Structure 1
Amino acid sequence: MKAPINIALVGNPNSGKSSLFNALTGLNQKVSNFPGVTVDKKTGNARITPQLDATIIDLPGTYSLYPKSADEFVTYDVLLNPKGEDRPNMILIIADASNLKRNLLFCSQIIDLKLPVIIGLTMMDLAKKKGVEIDLAGLERELGVPVVAINPRKNKGLPQLKKNIELIAQEKFGAPARDFIENQELAPAVIADVKKIFPVTSDYGALHVAVNYDELEFLNKGQQQQIKASIHTNGFNKTKIQAEEIMQRYSRIKHIMNVTVVETDPLQQQLQTERIDNLLLHRFWGYLILLAVLFLLFQSIFWLASYPMDLIEAGFGSISGWFSQILPDNKVSDIFINGIIAGLGGIAVFIPQIMILFGLITILEDTGYMARISFLTDRLMRQVGLNGKSVMPLISGVACAVPAIMAARNIENKKERLITIMITPLMACSARLPIYTIMIALVIPNKNVLGFLSLQGLVMMGLYLLGFFMAIAIAGIMKWFIRIREKSYFIMELPVYRAPRWKNVGTTMIEKAKIFVMDAGKVIMVISIILWFLASYGPGKPMEGVHQKYEQLMAQTTDSAQLQDLDKQFQSEKLANSYAGILGHAIEPVVKPLGFDWKIGIALITSFAAREVFVGTMATLYSVGETEDSDATLREKMAAATRIDGTPVYTLATGLSLMIFYAFAMQCMSTLAIVKRETRSWKYPIIQFLYMTALAYACSWLIYVIFK
């Protein structure tokens, strides 16, 4: 068997490229980074024929070969660099048949790079609905490259696509024989000089090297100086050349469209998408509908998840009680029940909400509504130094700040990208969800407003909106301090509306639940066991003193009620004198102004590893400190918790203060690490940690004072 061939997968955003990549590679995928940059490199292995394997490189989506963002420069480098490690043997271009004219611009540029090319036309069904009929044979003849109609979602056209790949691999098809336009005539002297200086494969490739010579890392300093000299000598004006090239390409595309595409009654055809957009993008109703969608999203998290959560919580409470009855009273049983079982319960109870949140977000993405949210919020974003493209990372931050910050790479403007990175962690990510859920259940009454709106759901929505509006406010402040002057434009394609792929929704829900259990679960379990040890043991003399004191007191009475009271006091005092208790009491003066006790203080420290660890920490601390009611749920134990003076720990003021603290605090090492990687500096994560911690402390203190 021959070595795998390299196939570069390119295309406009929303053209179906990712669907084809998944259809060809299945589960044989991996994500890394392109050398020297933080842009994701998606590669996968595909079996084309029994004798032919291929490595598919899924390049970032781009509209033309004139790059504006870091993502587009990666595509540019892979396609132009003849010595690059990812140099493709052939290029597979995915083009949207329902927007063929726009997609053909990029196709024509790729064709002129003189590498073997196949064009895969997607969304033929949508083109048909628009009344568009495409003569595939005529289009293939005009372009001079194979054209195949495909539907990756339904695996249609893939056998024919693979057959064309096989023919190119067998060298029965080669690079396009003719240029799409006369590239050589655009700048003959400069193109000739570049081809002498650097081994490009085409006139058009030489033209691009001349346009971007100072940003292409595969050119050495000497080559860059020679190209610069040629440009200066020949009066090369790259803006004028680019404009002339694009005009020539669209002139030829217009001819191709006239001879290969038939549109029936184009003026009478009104797509369902356009009719829906008239409502969803309306100046007034569009924003009202957006608020309604967000409202339903957060109400559903409580409506749909409450039943499975109650069952899971009750189930783990019963399991703990059952094990307490059948297992002997020793240290192994103690760590199993109060360390492992309590930690598992703290993880499992939030799986329904995680799954529902990601399921609903996937539905919004699949239907095409997520892109409309960017469009609607562009005006607001511009007021604070951002643009509509910043909305997608911010919305992604509702799931997790790490991939959301990485998604900011497609923002071309450096200042807007940096501000987006700095404010994205203020969005209420899914790691905050367990904290919000348990605190809302503790301090917010479970009742309806206006007879049908859940008050707890309204508070949850308020916390998410609070994160968003605080992010906007901080962005408005940062735009005055970040001194980068660069114009930006918001150009975005709105995808057509589609029915959600329910299989994709279900797969996403299961995968996100697995990630939560495996990634967050491992951290929670480790910290739960460490905390069990810290809460069960302490310095020798103080712990011995506590044991001796209560042994003497218990020996002096036989009354069962008094013995239970003494045992409860013993467990509480033992916990206070443990290593965890000593640590908690040491930091208590710092957190006391916020209404927090020493147990919450410990949770604030442990949850820096991951915010959701807060619940696991509480589960362990309250399990170790209790001997009765082993089958009581964590919420019941927290609700019963009291301070030294007998007042409850979790009052409305404390609960709101704690939620506000977690809404704004940078309690996530992974986020700081990714900010450092994306900005290539420790300066910005340090600033981010300091401003978010100060903001969290100040707002938490203010809320506690108001509601105390």
Structure 2
Amino acid sequence: MKADIRIALVGNPNTGKSTLFNVLTGLNQKIGNFPGVTVDKKIGYSSLPDGRSAEVIDLPGTYSLYPKSHDESIVFSVLADRSNDHNPDLVVIILDATNLKRNLLLYTQVADLKIPVIVALNMMDMAKKADLTIDVDGFAKKLGVPVIPVSARKVEGIDKLKEAIAFSNKIAFQPDSIDVGSIAPQLIAAVQKEIGIDNPYYALQLAHQHETLAFLTPGQNEAIETLEKEFAFHSQKAQGAETIARYNFINDLLYDTVTKSVTAEDETTSNRIDKILTHKVFGFVIFFAILMFIFQSIFAWSEYPMSLISDGFVWAQSTLHHYLPAGPLTNLLVDGVVAGLSGVMVFIPQIAILFAFISILEDTGYMSRVTFMMDKIMRKVGLNGKSVVPLIGGFACAVPSIMSTRTIENWKDRMITIMVTPLITCSARLPVYTLLISLVVPNKSVWWIFNMQGLALTAMYLFSLVSAVVVAWVMKYILKSRERGYFIMELPVYRMPRWGNVLHSMYDRSKAFVLQAGKVIIAVSVILWVMASYGPGKGFDQIDQKYKQAQYQKAAPDSLQRMIASDKLENSYAGVLGHAIEPVIRPLGFDWKIGIALITSFAAREVFVGTMATIYSVNGDADNIQSVKQKMGSAKNEQTGQPVFTLAVAMSLMMFYAFAMQCASTVAVVYRETKNWRWPAAQFAYMTVLAYVASFVTYHLLK
């Protein structure tokens, strides 16, 4: 799509930048990567009042143009490189009206690059609640650029912002905020002459960042390096001098334009709440209580919709078998594709509930408090406080969580975080856990409050957190680095969740889960059905001949069909494969059917459920279609006659899935982030060993 004007959204983290991006672009957006790097690129399109279209790019949040992470370095690269495909015609800088002093540092830096700028003064509703009075006209006059009051959450002031964007060709450049030339006058003049630019602040930024800027030629890089040595340029001292000068300008600006009617002693509501929620004792108690409530709700609230979906698939399979002509194609569709999909679709309610709670925790600002509280614990095991964000995000999915480790500056902290994040119980494990728990844990209440199945699920989630922390502590002594990590984080004020955003998150993430898992499951189900329906040599013909003998003809037709189906499954390609690995997995309590599921679920963990549904459908009776839970619950060990899925076997399986690296997407993203196959290989190896040992110990303790 060709746009008439390109706009970049720039701002600090927690200023509502992403919310404003969503309001401006709606669903007309796409996510990719900036060329040559792994930083996410969010681009959308918006219609302007004059009929033109605008391309809107949401640049990573940053506190200043001096980057502290790989994501932040993108901001200056895009703004400074005129040849960059994403170089904007206009920058919209989002300022949090309740925290202008901190936000204005970035604004003054961007404005001094002499790019047309509009200020979106966001969270004006929150500023009013905080008794802040902002003279918007005086503010705009002193800055020399348009200042538009908005509230992105309430979609207020957006039309005026679009009007300002439409008339952005009339915007004059803001006068210099500070005298940049006084910081390093000789160096700036020399860099300007060498590169052929007339902007002194642009020249100063090149002196600071030239080593990381891909758009500079090797010759220009070398020339700037030589000039730095010639004029004894000290980057950190220059940054310090610049920051002090900018805050002098900011203090004068705010003194003239912002007044606060509340006395300095008054405490904000967020601070009063934080005294409880971030308390060194009660804070953790509340956090674990919230986790327990979430996992209790996942079981309690999803029971009815899950039953409806399960019954719907049972009806669909029965109907298809009844009306479609008997034959391989019908069996493939019903026992392969439909049975496989039922194993995933039935868990949509639980996935939606999990993502709804995660969205609420993020939207209210509580997730930032969890990160803050966990910082001290993380440091003791050799991690950075910023590691908590990927670890908590791992409850949803390891892939974006591993990508989010780019904000961790320290190499050792980042690598340890990447290596342990897949241990966190993700949404893909949820179907496996809930299925196995529902088979062996009674659906009973404890103390009239807690459900035993909910407690078991909570235990699995907490176990994953403890496992990640313990493994991180071990890796602290394995990986060596002299870098020292640090943790700086802003706690946003508490806000009511945006329920529209919560619903969108539930829908969007559940849809992504179903589509991603569904593609894999359909492919695996088709392959698995073929492997389970056909066998090597003339084995199937011999089985048919065997059951034509007189002693078998006395059996009831249904019983005879089950014996034939069971015999054929065991002698199929899938059965041969399962029997081949059975000696290895037998000590874990697993039979050859579970072995097939372990192999297929190395593509994605949730495939386990679909595989079980397909295996037992192939082995079942077309006239007695059951849900996957019923099939597994009624499965008997052929040698002992006892149930296959006992408490020992189910817990052993959950321990295996708690540790095993059974996710091809995670392996791929670890390689993508580390650029070296040895890291995903080492991760796969240690997690597989842990899975086998934990499963072995669990089975032999419980059997």
Scaled to the shorter chain, the TM-score interval is over 0.9
After superposition, give the CA deviation of every residue in 1:5-25 in whole Å (9 maximum; x if it has no partner).
221110000101111111111
Whether the 8 Å CA contact 1:113–1:201 is kept in 2: the answer is no
d(CA) in 1 for partners of 2:243, 2:306 = 58
Shift of 1:152: 2.0
Which residue of 646, 652, 666 maps to 2:647? Answer: 652
The answer to whether the 8 Å contact 1:131/1:266 transfers is no
Could you state the TM-score of these two structures normalised by the residue count of structure 2? 0.97
Question: How many Å separate the matches in 1 of 2:583 and 2:198?
Answer: 70
Matched, 1:307 2:332: no
Q: 1:521-532 maps to which residues of 2 (within 5 A)? A: 521-532=518-529
C-alpha separation between the residues in 1 aligned to 2:552 and 2:702? 45
Deviates most, 226-235 or 240-249: 226-235
Give the C-alpha shift of residue 524 in structure 1.
1.0
| 1:619 aligns with one of 609, 613, 623 | 613
Secondary structure at the counterpart of residue 212 of structure 1:
helix
Q: 2:688 aligns with which of 682, 693, 697?
A: 693
Answer whether contact 2:321 2:622 (CA < 8 A) is retained. Answer: no
Instruction: Find the partner of 1:581 among 554, 565, 575.
Output: 575
- Contact kept? 1:427, 1:464, Cα under 8 Å: yes
1:4-15 equivalence runs, <5 A: 4-15=4-15
2:315 paired residue number:
318
What SS class does the counterpart of residue 494 from structure 2 fall into? coil
Query: Root-mean-square deviation (CA), in Å?
Result: 1.7
Name 2:666's counterpart in structure 1: 671
Q: What residue in structure 1 maps to residue 566 of structure 2?
A: 572
The match for 2:634 among 630, 640, 647 is 640
Q: Which residue of 2 aligns with 1:27?
A: 27
Deviation for aligned residue 1:565: 3.0
> Following the alignment from structure 2 to structure 1, what is the Cα–Cα distance between the partners of residues 153 and 448?
43
Q: Give deviations 1:636-684, integer Å, cap 9, x for gaps.
A: 2111212222222111111000000001000011100000001111110
Match of 1:250 among 234, 243, 247: 247
How many residue pairs are counted as aligned between the two chains? 702
2:501 corresponds to 1:504: yes
Structure 1: tracts of 5 or more residues without a match: none
Q: Which residue of 2 aligns with 1:114?
A: 114
Whole-angstrom distance in 2 between the partners of 1:147 and 1:327: 66
The answer on whether the counterparts of 1:130 and 1:269 sit within 8 Å (CA) in structure 2 is no
Question: Aligned in 2, Cα 1:311/1:232: closer, same or farther, shift over 3 Å?
Answer: same
Aligned to 1:175: 173
Match of 1:605 in 2: 599
1:75 partner amino acid = V
Which one is further off, 338-347 or 135-144?
A: 338-347
Distance in 1, Cα, partners of 2:342 & 2:416: 38
Whether 2:94 is the aligned partner of 1:94: answer yes
Asked if the contact 1:19/1:153 (under 8 Å) is kept, the reply is yes
Contact 2:343 2:610 in 1 (8 A): yes
1:152 aligns with 2:152: yes
Structure 1 counterpart SS, 2:167: helix
1:286 maps to which residue? Answer: 283
Return the alpha-carbon distance in structure 1 between the equivalents of residues 408 and 550 of structure 2. 69
Structure 2 residue aligned with 1:702: 697
How far the C-alpha of 1:269 sits from its partner, in A, is 3.5
C-alpha contact 1:367 1:498 (8 A) present in aligned 2: yes
**Selected match of 1:222 from 201, 219, 227:** 219
1-side partners of 2:613 and 2:130: how far apart?
58
- CA distance in 2 between counterparts of 1:618 and 1:40 reads 37
TM-score (norm 1): 0.96
Q: Return closer, same or farther for 1:201/1:441 CA change in 2, 3 Å cut-off.
A: farther
Q: What is aligned with 1:472?
A: 469
Q: Which segment drifts farther, 524-533 or 46-55? A: 46-55
Structure 2 portions without partners, runs of 5+ = none
8 Å Cα contact 2:140-2:146 kept in structure 1: yes
Aligned to 1:593: 587
**Which residue pairs with 2:73 in the alignment?**
73
Among 368, 371, 376, the residue aligned to 2:373: 376
Match of 2:478 in 1: 481
Instruction: Please give the alpha-carbon distance, in whole angstroms, between the structure 2 residues aligned to 1:651 and 1:218.
Output: 62
1:233 corresponds to which of 230, 234, 238:
230
Residue 44 of structure 1 aligns to a residue whose secondary structure is: strand
Deviation at 1:3, TM superposition (A): 5.6
Cα deviation for residue 511 of structure 1 reads 1.5
Residues 2, 224 of structure 1: alpha-carbon distance in 2 compared, 3 angstrom cutoff: closer
Q: What corresponds to 1:274 in structure 2?
A: 271
Q: What secondary structure does 1:480 align onto?
A: helix
Equivalent residues in 2 for 1:348-363 (5 A)? 348-363=345-360
Of the structure 1 ranges 536-545 and 392-401, higher mean CA displacement relative to structure 2 is found in 536-545
Contact residue 554 and residue 563 of structure 1 kept, 8 A:
no
| Bigger shift: residues 216-225 or 272-281 | 216-225
Classify the secondary structure of the residue corresponding to 1:142: helix
Q: For residues 566 and 25 of structure 1, what CA distance do their matches in structure 2 show?
A: 62
Q: Quote the offset at 1:268 in angstroms.
A: 4.7
Contact kept, 8 Å, 2:534 with 2:572, in 1: the verdict is yes
Q: Aligned partners of 2:43 and 2:198: how far apart in 1? A: 25
Distance in 2 of aligned mates of 1:433 and 1:68: 36
* 1:236 Cα deviation from its structure 2 partner: 1.8
Other-structure match for 2:677:
682
